[in-house]
Amino acid sequence: MLNNPFFCRKDALLRAEADALLGKIAASPYLHSLFADGKMMGVLVARAADGTQVVLHAFSGTARGLWRVEGFVPPIFEFSRAEVDAASPEHSRELQQWLFSQYLVRNGRGEVRSIQDIFSERGLVPPGGTGDCAAPKLLQYALTHNLEPLRIGEFWYGASPMHEVRRQGAFYPACTGKCGPLLGFMLQGLDVEPNPLESDAHWQLDEPLVLFEDASLIVADKPSGMLAVPGRESCRISLQNWLENHCGGPVLACHRLDMDTSGVMVFAREVTTQAALQRQFEGREVSKAYLARLCPCPSGESVQLKVGDKGKIVLPLAPDWDDRPRQKVDEDEGRAAATGYEVLRTLSDGCIDVRLLPYTGRTHQLRVHCAHPLGLGRPILGDRLYGGIVDGCDCDRLMLHASMLSLRHPVTGERLSISSDFRPAEEKS
């Protein structure tokens, strides 16, 4: 069964093949010169008709202007992008439509469609560069050469870009904007693992714990993997659903936590209380603290964090529209985001535990500020979006926990501080 390209997990075979390709590129001055500035690479392990194993390599886009490089699968369709770039805006749109009508891709059923048709059926317009990522190149080659895909993965080689979180050797899920609809078509007819993030099957959910409750509000400890509030297209139970069952009546969310993040959340029992609490969040009157376990320092990097180190990270964040829900650092369009940190301890496997203090509340702020090279330079362990799946460090969740929430009680006016312990799985008794 083919692994799901939209979900990163530890895979010994993929890791071995990725390491082999990384070593091959690093050992070749020519290949290194092509990819040193930073490039998403891909590997696909397949089975040929005679039962032999075949390993394919690909790179996203071009390599210093080259569409073809020996040892890597060819592009799905070659076209001079200079003609598109030089055209007038109106003519450019026509050229893009024509271009994507020429990108013909195959799926596991043997059906062939153009990228233009695949996207238009969903009421979408293909983003620029659709079809040029490593994963669709690999699948197209395999499906047109009678190869059965077994394992597929994309990882980064070269320098880390300043606008998005990428580090050499780290695996990342396929992008949602360009590759979401495209791979959705190409994978049809193949035996593909379901995306574990789309069901509770992946998670061993702990029972939520009520930390405080009175007639006005209720504070609970949310497990990692549980939705904070009901999803638009999901029947999975959320913490809000669970609390409504617990309370025997409606509760109202006042803030959010990522599904992967565990820890303290506050809910109101009625609308006026919700409004009062939301004003505190918006006015930054609420104090919050998080605990996180960060991956080991990447090999070859000299910057080391030690116990007692403190500081502040200030990096503006904006949505990565081609790869939602990922966020990126954007000095021009990003919204201000600031995080304080303190290193608490180091572990024998090279991981470190830190306390994080968010002064702002941007989406994925802590995850990006930890992983970005201008931040702490280390992804949070278990972070499948930002490169936190590493060998030698065991975890089955995002190691980020909202450990403390301090706010003014909306009725009594007293300061209310609620804490929750965070112990990684291997430390639980």
Tell me the catalytic residues. Answer: 258
Q: CB atoms < 10 A from the CB of 187, how many?
A: 21
Q: How much is the CA Rg of the chain, to the nearest whole Å?
A: 23
Amino acid, res. 111: E
CB neighbours of 325 closer than 8 A, spacing ≥ 6?
A: 319, 363, 364, 385
DSSP track, 155-209: EEESSPPSSS---BT-EEPPPSSSHHHHHHHHTTTS-B---GGGSGGG--PPPPE
Whether 380 contacts 352, CB under 8 Å: no
Structure tokens, 230: 């009901």
Q: CB atoms < 10 A from the CB of 307, how many?
A: 11
CB neighbours of 377 closer than 8 A, spacing ≥ 6?
A: 297, 298, 301, 303, 371
Q: How far apart are CA 335 and CA 369, in angstroms?
A: 13
Amino acid, res. 8: C
Give SS3 for 142. Answer: helix
